[in-house]
């Protein structure tokens, strides 16, 4: 089955206002920049985004955030995105913060058909007890708070119930892909891209290099095509465009 779509604009054309999205990437590594830019150009708003973070340096999801297209974020950290923090503290954005490992497993569980699971992460904190501000009001009070989570003891250790995450769409970026949607990721880009792809009911992958069907060694495939519905081939310029969040260089010895 050939899942290749001609353009990024065509690939995101049916992402409507209010849609939920799982978006791959870790920091600015492996972020589906071209698809995000196409979604920005489409004008979709009121989006509910699930991602490890929400972009930085006006890159990645920060493009949608700055344009006020995102209404709710489920993430593990705010990072250095000052606009993200400002919108949250001003009550303009709803934010559900989740421990990073729990977020990863909630996405994976969604793709695996597991409705919920128990984990010890967050026990004894507001993650379990509830009361985390999801949305502030204009006076700095809590308009929406996180609920208390169900607890259960296994082998003498308390665990809390976490529900799987499923989204309307998923946007991911891969180093290599084929027309059937089989994907290969590189280094840090593999952290959240496969998990986000699994969670989406319709998953769109932008690939830096598109190969012929059968060219990928089955043992080298990180995500099978069953989880991917659309593939967009990046131009060489788009594939080379990779932002660096915090650039560091090696100092020459004295």
* pLDDT of 4: 97
- Establish if 89 belongs to a structural domain: yes
Residue 143 lies in a domain: no
Residue 150 lies inside a defined structural domain of this protein: no
pLDDT value, residue 241: 81
What pLDDT is recorded for position 195?
97
> How many structural domains comprise the chain?
1
Q: What is the pLDDT along the chain (254 residues), one digit of tens a residue?
A: 899 999 999 999 999 999 999 999 988 889 999 999 999 999 999 999 999 999 887 889 999 999 999 999 999 988 778 899 999 999 999 999 999 999 999 999 999 999 999 999 999 999 999 999 999 998 899 999 999 999 999 999 999 999 999 999 999 999 999 999 999 999 999 999 999 999 999 999 999 999 999 999 999 999 999 999 999 999 988 898 877 777 788 888 87
Nearest CA to 32 out of 20, 22, 19 is that of 22
Residue 62 lies in a domain: yes
Question: How confident is the model at residue 41, as a pLDDT?
Answer: 97
Q: Is residue 41 part of a domain?
A: yes
What is the Cα–Cα distance from 221 to 185, expressed in whole angstroms?
9
CA distance 235 to 172: 16
Cα separation of 36 and 18, whole Å? 15
Query: What DSSP assignment string belongs to 67-90?
Result: TT-EEEEEES--TT-HHHHHHHHT
Kind and range of the H or E run holding 62:
helix 62-66
pLDDT of 251 reads 83
Residue 77 lies in a domain: yes
Asked if residue 133 belongs to a domain, the reply is no
pLDDT of residue 3: 97
Q: How far is residue 87's CA from residue 233's CA, in Å, rounded to a whole number? A: 34
Distance CA 179, CA 233 (A): 9
Predicted local distance difference test score (pLDDT) of residue 27: 83
* Paired tokens of 241: 């465009």
- What is residue 79's predicted lDDT score, i.e. its pLDDT? 76
Model confidence, pTM = 0.92
Structural domain containing residue 66: 4-115+164-240
The CATH number for 55's domain is 3.40.1080.10
Whole-number pLDDT of residue 101: 96
pLDDT for residue 222:
97
pLDDT of residue 55: 85
Does 236 reside within a domain?
yes
């Amino acid at each position: 089955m050939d899942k290749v779509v001609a353009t990024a604009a065509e690939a995101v054309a049916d992402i409507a206002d209010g849609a939920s999205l799982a978006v791959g990437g870790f920091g600015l590594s492996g972020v589906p920049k071209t698809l995000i830019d196409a979604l920005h150009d489409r004008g979709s708003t009121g989006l509910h985004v699930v991602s490890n973070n929400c972009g930085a340096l006006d890159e990645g999801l920060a493009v949608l955030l700055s344009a006020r297209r995102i209404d709710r974020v489920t993430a593990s950290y705010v990072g250095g995105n000052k606009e993200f923090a400002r919108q949250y503290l001003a009550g303009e954005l709803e934010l559900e913060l989740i421990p990073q490992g729990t977020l990863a497993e909630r996405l994976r569980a969604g793709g695996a058909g597991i409705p919920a699971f128990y984990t010890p992460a967050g026990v004894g904190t507001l993650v379990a007890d509830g009361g985390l501000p999801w949305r502030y009001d204009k006076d700095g009070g809590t308009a929406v708070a996180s609920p208390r989570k169900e607890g259960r003891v296994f082998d003498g250790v308390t665990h809390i119930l976490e529900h799987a995450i499923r989204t309307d769409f998923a946007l991911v970026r891969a180093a290599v892909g084929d027309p059937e949607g089989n994907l290969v990721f590189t280094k840090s880009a593999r952290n959240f891209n496969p998990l986000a792809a699994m969670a989406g009911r319709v998953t769109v992958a932008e690939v830096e290099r598109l190969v012929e069907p059968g060219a990928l060694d089955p043992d080298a495939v990180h995500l099978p095509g069953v989880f991917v519905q659309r593939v967009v081939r990046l131009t060489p310029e788009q594939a080379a465009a990779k932002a660096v969040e915090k650039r560091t260089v090696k100092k020459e010895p004295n």
